[in-house]
Structure formats: structure tokens, C-alpha cells
Amino acid sequence: MSKLKILKVPNPILRQSCPRHEGSYQQILNDLLDTMKDIGYGLAAPQVGVLTRLAVVRTSSSKEPIVLVNPEIINRLGRSSAQEACLSLPGISLDILRWETIFVRSDAWMGSRRFHGITARAIQHECDHLEGICIDERIARELS
Ligand SMILES: [Zn+2]
């Protein structure tokens, strides 16, 4: 495992929508986990310069890392606003509206899984990165 350099806004890579992830992901996953260790709740591959639909989330309420491979949010419930920070925007936190409960598909598990609260928020944050959206752009958007 190795710690990778985290790209910062306004790096144009962070504004691109990522293509579907194909093939194995263990190596990049280990690097993402190593890179975000002790500094964040989640990290998406484009934040380390890899344009592919892969991200990982690990919050205080998720014991195991949540591996998002080609993730898809298939259902959403409730809304809440809270402060969010991003490793690509150091020193900034913004009030962001998110869904409170989401149902997510990932190639890393079968079917869909339900997430709530801070974990749901972190997953939405990382899914936004896969679309090239950082919190400085999300702040102006309605939920969809
Ligand atoms: Zn972020």
C-alpha cells in the first residue's frame, strides 16, 4: 500500500465525469484506504488522479470500509443539511443538502444496501466526485 497525492481544486481532473470501472480494483482500493487513513471519511479515485468509478467510505458507524465500484444510488429518502469538508478543498467546509437514507448498488456486493446519516452523506459525497462534482459546485445544486 502507498499514500498517494490528493489532487486539489481547481485541478481539472476533479471536474471530469469518470468512466465505468473495469477489472480488478484491490490495488487502487488499498492505496485509497492508505491515503485517507486518519484524515478523512472517504476518498474517490479521481481525487488521486485515477479517472474511474471507484471510491471508498469509512465512517465511525461503518466498521468495514464501504467499497463503491460503479456505485448507483437507486432510492432516496428524507433530506438534511450539514457541514461537509473535502480533502480536495483543504480548510473549507460548506453546508450541503443530502438525502438522509439511500439504497446503493455497487459491484462490490450483491443487490442493494441501505445507508443512513453520516455514512449516506459520505457515500453521496464520493458519488459526486465520480461525476466531477466537488462540494463547491454541489452547494448551488438541488438534489436529484
Ligand atoms: Zn471530497
Active site residue 126: yes
Per-residue confidence band for 144, with pLDDT thresholds at 50, 70 and 90: low
Ligand 1 centroid – CA 85 distance (Å): 7
The contacts of residue 34 (CB under 8 Å, 6+ apart) are 1, 2, 3, 4
Return the domain boundaries, the chain.
Answer: 12-138
Looking at domain 12-138, its CATH architecture is Alpha-Beta Complex (3.90)
What percent of the chain is predicted at pLDDT more than 90?
A: 88
Sheet holding 66-69, edge to edge: 42-44, 54-57, 66-69
71 or 139: which carries more pLDDT confidence? 71
pLDDT > 90? residue 141? no
Ligand 1 centroid – CA 58 distance (Å): 13
Ligand 1 centroid – CA 86 distance (Å): 4
The contacts of residue 13 (CB under 8 Å, 6+ apart) are 7, 46, 49, 51
Contact status, residue 72 vs residue 104, Cβ threshold 8 Å: yes
State the catalytic residue, choosing from 22, 72, 84, 126.
126
Write out pLDDT tens, residues 77-103.
Answer: 999 999 999 999 999 999 999 999 999
Ligand 1 centroid – CA 115 distance (Å): 18
pLDDT > 70? residue 1? no
Q: How far is CA 41 from the centre of its chain?
A: 9
pTM for the whole thing? 0.95
Ligand 1 centroid – CA 129 distance (Å): 7
pLDDT > 80? residue 52? yes
Ligand 1 centroid – CA 66 distance (Å): 15
Tell me the backbone φ, ψ of residue 71, rounded to 5 degrees. -70, 150
Provide the pLDDT for residue 125. 98
